Structure 1
């Protein structure tokens, strides 16, 4: 056996409180928060003198988790990407939602910005991308079946 399951997706953000508010508005539930530092985390991430705050959120079904972290030290050497969706290496997190338009309106109040347009693929689903805190791209999919 090679993989049991996907454990979580991690995203580094500048403003942890704003990112938490964005993902909670999306419908994720806060699982826990912590501050991490010390030799073990330095070795894990390959940086020296790490001190970071993190929060883990889970999807309502309990199967998916998103880890948000903000690093106090060391200082980042480059800014978060705000590249177009087709740029190699730009991650997208996609969530199944009840109503794309409703979720989109709620996320806009938390800085969410529609990337393209809300589109419909036949009678199968409605889909859009939203750029959230620190350039994170979120896909919203509404199943029409």
Structure 2
């Protein structure tokens, strides 16, 4: 019975290590970012500086979470593609796909976009009024998200 308890404890410890031990998160400097990410930041956020960059490797999936001093947080996946942008004020139009920008300009002319996210094959934008809109991969409107 004592051996069973010891085996159970060891197995539990191994399971916890395998779940939590696969995550590696580190703060890196801007010069350690892939050049395509640096180029994206230089193109779309010219007046912003990075305040924190976290390189995250979880279950063999790489991502970069970048905080800018202008109130924007951007996440890139392991392919260096933007998957999430959250801001406290209006995001630059250049980071919003044109179909989505056209739709929101027409249907929400008094509002502006403060967040954009790629979720599966769909895209979501958050307006400054907290309305969240969902679009397909082509930028065609699907629905208002509750």
TM-score normalised over the length of structure 1: 0.28
TM-score normalised over the length of structure 2: 0.28
